[in-house]
């Protein structure tokens, strides 16, 4: 699955200090980001080569501080329903999960 393939690559990110939180109780597939409290980008684009070079993707970019503030509030509310993944928790995940992640990562170029 996409989620398993993604998890397989989290180690270096977590080790470098990235913060990863998983929305509970299920996957949250939206792509939204804010920049400097002014720009909001919402759309279907993943940040990978497949989306940038092959897939037909679209994002809407909104330059509006009030809209960015509302989206930031939504994000912070969603973060409260998320589970933080630490580097140690990622290392300690069950062998079954590690095996599934490895298998899924073999298909990551297609996901």
91 pLDDT tier (thresholds 50, 70, 90): very high
Q: 63 pairs with which residues across the strands? A: 39
* Interval 16-53: pLDDT, tens: 999 999 998 887 778 899 999 999 999 988 777 777 77
Predicted pLDDT at 51 = 75
Q: What tokens does 5 get?
A: 């393939």
Q: What's this model's pTM, rounded to 2 decimal places?
A: 0.77
Angle (nearest 5°) at CA 48 between 64 and 44: 45
DSSP letter assigned to residue 106: T
Question: Cα separation of 98 and 92, whole Å?
Answer: 10
Predicted pLDDT at 111 = 65
* Interval 67-77: pLDDT, tens: 999 999 999 99
Question: Cα separation of 60 and 42, whole Å?
Answer: 5
By C-alpha distance, which of 45, 15, 19 is closest to 30?
45
């Amino acid at each position: 699955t996409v989620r398993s393939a993604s998890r397989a690559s989290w180690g270096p990110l977590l080790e470098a200090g990235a913060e990863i939180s998983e929305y509970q109780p299920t996957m949250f597939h939206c792509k939204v980001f804010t920049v400097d409290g002014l720009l909001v980008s919402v759309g279907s684009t993943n940040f990978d080569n497949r989306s940038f070079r092959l897939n037909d993707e679209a994002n809407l970019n909104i330059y509006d501080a009030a809209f960015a503030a509302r989206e930031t509030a939504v994000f912070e509310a969603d973060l409260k329903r998320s589970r933080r993944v630490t580097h140690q928790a990622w290392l300690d995940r069950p062998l079954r999960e590690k095996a599934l992640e490895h298998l899924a990562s073999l298909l990551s170029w297609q996901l």
